[in-house]
Amino acid sequence: MATQTPKRLRHLTSINDLRIDEIEALFALADRYLDELSDPHIPYRIGRSLTEAQGSLLATLFYEPSTRTRLSFETAMIRLGGKSISSADPATSSAAKGESLADTVRVASNYADVLVIRHPRDGAARFAADYASVPVINGGDGAHEHPTQTLCDLFTLRRENKDLNRLNVAVSGDLKGSRTIHSFVYALARFGAEITLMPAGGMDLPEHVYWRLKHDYQHTPTRPSDVADPEVDAVYVTADQPHQLALIAEAGAVVDESSKKKSRAKRAIDAVYVTRFQKERWANKDQDYPTVDANFLKGKEFSHTSVMHPLPRVGELDVAFDSDPRAVYFRQAAYGVPIRMALIAGLLELSNAHALETFEAGFRPAQYVLYDQPNGVGDRCVNANCIVHDPLDGKYARNKFHLIEADRPRLRCHYCENDVTHFFVAHRKHKTYAPAASGLHVSKTQANTVFFNDAKSAEDAGYTLQPPRHAPRA
């Protein structure tokens, strides 16, 4: 049998796998599909099909409920002229017999030409990409990311004639558990938007997402507490007081004229992004949650605001608002088809996709050096919901971390992208370890570097504490 060079694969596991020019190229192709194929009566609905993907197959492997993501991916493939197969219920697939995602992906790669995966574990998509021999698209992995939802979100704002390069967006609700928010804020920051955070009580952005916005993408979001008004003491949007966003704008009027915060607070808000309380990701499922309605949006700064929601909504967005011209959430869901058509066309290199000349194979180069430790060497990611802690898949997962040499060093899990800020670095040959915060003692040879979460696990693995390099003078 002739040997073949394996093709360099392109996956989409995080919105940050795409460069800005690639995102724009996808939008241009999605525009073309809408121009050429839209329903004459409903301009944002794709109503006709092509044949360019004839003979190609898409597989959706969904381990969590879905309506829009799965159906719009399948619709997109069929509209391109291809076909779609689906494993939508883990109870009726081999997952119920205990098959790992790694094995399922290896098998499904031999059936379909592109895989879309939704999974409850953070980092599952990137993990799956390690085992797939065809492109993997993340259809939502735990609380990590939902990059194709972000493509729909940005595409919607663009179709609403909003300038993506100078957006002012407020994101509200469960900012901790919503993967849609995490992908969205990364993209907004990279496009240069202003972001106001309106978390429900105790549901703020995770620290690692916030850190990344600030340090990797040079963006500091505004919080209600940033506004210097002694009258405004609430930081969160609460069920009792859901109208804090209006307070921000009012508060803007009383802060120092020269304050940059004021200009941010007073600028018209291009979009308010509402999210559902992600109950399935919280132990306490009985928490207060605010509702967004016309009253919430009565201020002048909201007169041209696009009100967005990834859907499903379960009470946090008033149905009476649906007839308001600012409600864009059903269009946002409809745009899932052209944008996912463009993505599939790009990944499969279909003929229509030469618009995507810049759509190169491979992940975007990682910003930070990757340390890849075999299973059993060093400690695992500290995020309990990371795919590496899955009883089945954990057996396959390697300990992969990006080392970020900031003022205070951090380890970023390659799969779920949670950061560890307190860790120990050990030298495999010297058999010594030291706290990372005391200065990194990373070996030049990556294979000699081992990371531990605490001193005890380093000691248990046979390492001894390295004496300080410069002993204090007597």
10, 70, 126, 146: the active-site residue: 146
Output the smallest distance, CB 275 to ligand NCD, in A.
6
CB of 64 to ligand NCD, least distance (A): 7
Residue (62 or 452) nearer to ligand NCD, CB: 62
Expressed in angstroms, the distance from the first to the final Cα of the chain is: 72
Q: Which amino acid is at 119?
A: H
Q: Residue 465: how many CB atoms within 10 A of its CB?
A: 14
Q: Which stretches within 8-167 are classed as H helix?
A: 20-37, 68-79, 101-108, 124-131, 147-159
Point out the catalytic residue in the list 10, 70, 79, 118.
118
DSSP conformational letter for 473: P
- In terms of Cβ atoms closer than 10 Å to its own Cβ (0-12, 13-18, 19+), residue 191 is buried
Query: Whose Cβ is closer to ligand NCD: residue 194's or residue 417's?
Result: 417
Cα separation values, 339 from 22, 29, 72, 225, 326, Å: 12, 8, 10, 36, 21
The residue within the footprint of ligand NCD, chosen from 16, 69, 104, 466 (CB under 6 A), is 69
What's the closest the beta carbon of residue 336 comes to ligand NCD, in angstroms? 8
Q: Is 467 left (phi over 0), alpha (psi -120 to 50) or beta?
A: beta
- Catalytic residue, candidates 41, 97, 444, 469: 97
By beta-carbon proximity to ligand NCD, the closer residue of 343 and 404 is 343
Span 130-169, contacts to ligand NCD by CB under 6 A: 140, 146, 149
> What is the CB neighbour count within 10 angstroms for residue 207?
12
**Which 307-326 residues touch ligand NCD, going by CB under 6 A?**
310-311
Query: In the bound complex, what is the minimum distance in angstroms from residue 366's beta carbon to ligand NCD?
Result: 25
Helices 147-159 and 179-191, axial angle in degrees (round to 10): 50
Binding mask 408-437 for ligand NCD (x = CB under 6 A): ------------------------------
Shortest approach of ligand NCD to residue 99 CB, angstroms?
Answer: 23
Count of residues binding ligand NCD (CB under 6 A)?
10
Closer of 146 and 441 to ligand NCD (Cβ): 146
69 flagged as catalytic: yes
118 labelled catalytic: yes
Report the run of H or E that residue 137 belongs to, with start and end.
strand 136-141
Spatial distance between the Cα atoms of 147 and 310, rounded to a whole number of angstroms: 12
Nearer to ligand NCD, 144 or 410 (CB): 144
**Structure tokens of 144?**
């990590």
Residue 119: left (phi > 0), alpha (psi -120 to 50), or beta?
beta
Among 68, 121, 223, 427, binds ligand NCD (CB under 6 A): 68
- For this structure, is 13 an active site residue? no
What track of x and - describes contact with ligand NCD for positions 247 through 286 (by CB under 6 A)? -----------------------------x----------
> Within 13 Å and on the Cβ side, how many CA atoms surround 235?
8
SS3 of 472, please?
coil
CB of 147 to ligand NCD, least distance (A): 11
Which of the residues 13, 60, 69, 305 is marked catalytic? 69
Residue numbers annotated as active site:
68-69, 97, 118, 146
Interface with ligand NCD by CB under 6 A: which residues? 68-69, 140, 146, 149, 179-180, 276, 310-311
